[in-house]
Structure 1
């Protein structure tokens, strides 16, 4: 929940609200959802017409992009960016989660906890990834194979992203199986229909070897796309421990914007305006671009560090941070002659 009483936040909120940037944009989302579903359906029609050919890997790449765009809409629905009330947003989110084979309810629960305490070492689930270490404390407690991974995590980061799609599938199935979602039966039906339809289509049309390759390419590219969309937002930014600071500073200091104009807006699903999104999570995606200069001016005026960089430079910052954290482990192994 947004804390309107946070020091300095109220006047910024009033300025954004006066600019009309919290109004819903139903027409925009109708257009986006219609376009996504049209491309999604067209990709599968193309898949059926192409038949058993290696050209299908182009369809796999296209579907990776479409899956990410569908997931972005689910993300917006989870923040009530589309409608003002929870129920219609949840309907959109659950359906989009079913289309890509993940549990919307499971994902949005963790994502909301991330929003409440971004980059907080104890409370942000996005920092609790066993294969990686995002803080010095996490580095120190790694043992065995996970220690080796932490030592080399900058080199392993992008290869690990190829597994993110699989992780989303498995985590969603586990959440539904354990009853950890509010719509267990509905999501269970949607996930079953997704995997049954997806695997039947792939193995019915393609030869076994090509079918397996199609699935691997599709899921790996989707995972990389999703990971590359979310990684620049907070990784490499300051982390917090103990009692959080006020809402305004907590959200701005731990977030990073990515420049790139309308191309970045489309490719990253609006997540490139991460500071504005964290300050106003229910702001419709197309309004984030207009809110950006307002927020930047406000932060400069109040001497609050406001970080904005290019996409490639953001990845360099992420990888540099991960490599730096692994340095003590590499030094220790070097000293032991390993």
Structure 2
């Protein structure tokens, strides 16, 4: 099933994993030492640009008398909401800009423009997800409680509906995140009173957010309130769909591995780094798409260094790739379309009971463990030692039954 011995799966010794940690720590120190005025100017420009774009979009929606103008305004508003949600809200809430000591751009103060509460999200995401990334039974983001994304999650009859659930989650992603955050927040409480407080806080945020989007702005538009209301609905739906796609493509395509609770028992910082590298995936993006995704096209780098500023992830990625090359580890990436198609394949395939699936539970594209390399071990007798990336590549090109110690290449 999921990986329970990451050293065996990664074809690395304890000493090699410690060396990997030293190299990644060195990257962190280098980037942290270089943070300064240019980075601070970047986030301030981004916030200013987002606010100007939001205002311009709303004016265009209000002033346009054509369908094309309205559509352009709604699309611009969706872009502004996406930037606020991902490049600003998500990253500020990770503490990426706390080093500036600017109270406006601080993780403890930022409240983003969606129905979920930032404070509840920070616990469910920054702690439950990032610390325990893709650990079955600990990471609540693994399918968000509604999608079976690994065979380690037992099949139930309601999973037959998950293709429809997937579409609904994409369209209403902000609501899913809000309820997800509430679930994580209430799960750590011990009394009814403690559980009631987070629910009341979320209800208050929902009232404020929906009141702003669906009452205040339409009312301010006077006779054109219908156009404004429809534009807000469309913009929120587009933002939700884009955020869903970015998040799913970073966590659920082939190559984003899953782990058992046993892996946590003796996990140190070195193994944690390795789990983040093996449990996430990137997608290729130019500067505009990277910006619109909150630079989460670099999900591997984000999980290694979640509190480093997102504008540095492109730079960091070249260094992380070099580390992967050195240790013969896969660097899982691909086009956005490819990664999303792999996600969709998993969502639809795992809607079915396991008896209808062909690959084993230790050697399937979406579910793997160190057992996929047994009993042959790291290499055949007399061969030079190989690493994980080479093992995966060789298994892909070699017919099964000849060299059971290898599998398909996910590099690039």
TM-score (norm 1): 0.80
Structure 1 residue 263 displacement after superposition:
2.7
Equivalent pair of 2:115/2:174 in contact (CA under 8 Å) = no
Tell me whether 207-216 or 229-238 shows the greater mean CA deviation.
207-216
Deviations 1:244-289 (A, max 9, x none): 3511211000111111231331121110111111111111111111
Equivalent pair of 1:94/1:105 in contact (CA under 8 Å) = no
Tell me which residue corresponds to 2:173. Answer: 164
Aligned pairs for 1:313-332 within 5 A: 313-328=338-353, 331=356
In 2 relative to 1, CA 169–249 (structure 1 residues): closer, same or farther, beyond 3 Å? Answer: closer
In 2 relative to 1, CA 172–39 (structure 1 residues): closer, same or farther, beyond 3 Å? Answer: farther
Q: If each structure's helix is expressed as a fraction of its own residues, which one has the higher value?
A: 1
Structure 1 residue 304 displacement after superposition:
2.4
Structure 1 residue 93 displacement after superposition:
6.7
Larger radius of gyration between Structure 1 and Structure 2? 2
Structure-2 separation of matches of 1:168 and 1:215: 19
Equivalent pair of 1:249/1:304 in contact (CA under 8 Å) = no
Secondary structure in 1 aligned to 2:133?
coil
Structure-2 separation of matches of 1:124 and 1:264: 27
In 2 relative to 1, CA 147–321 (structure 1 residues): closer, same or farther, beyond 3 Å? Answer: closer
TM-score (norm 2): 0.67
Deviations 1:192-234 (A, max 9, x none): 4433232232256367865664444233212101101211111
Structure-1 separation of matches of 2:132 and 2:182: 26
Unaligned segments of structure 2, at least 5 residues: 1-16, 187-194, 358-412
Tell me which residue corresponds to 2:35. Answer: 23
Equivalent pair of 2:92/2:110 in contact (CA under 8 Å) = no
In 2 relative to 1, CA 240–109 (structure 1 residues): closer, same or farther, beyond 3 Å? Answer: same
Aligned pairs for 1:69-88 within 5 A: 69-72=83-86, 73-84=88-99, 88=103
Q: Between Structure 1 and Structure 2, how many residues are aligned?
A: 317
Tell me whether 297-306 or 222-231 shows the greater mean CA deviation.
297-306
Aligned pairs for 1:1-338 within 5 A: 7=18, 8-18=20-30, 23-24=35-36, 25-50=39-64, 55-72=69-86, 73-84=88-99, 88=103, 91=106, 94-97=109-112, 99-112=113-126, 113-140=128-155, 142-143=156-157, 146-150=158-162, 153=163, 157-168=166-177, 178-180=196-198, 184=201, 192-198=207-213, 199-202=215-218, 205=221, 213-236=230-253, 237-243=256-262, 244=264, 245=267, 246-328=271-353, 331=356
Unaligned segments of structure 1, at least 5 residues: 1-5, 333-338
In 2 relative to 1, CA 208–14 (structure 1 residues): closer, same or farther, beyond 3 Å? Answer: closer
Equivalent pair of 1:70/1:96 in contact (CA under 8 Å) = no
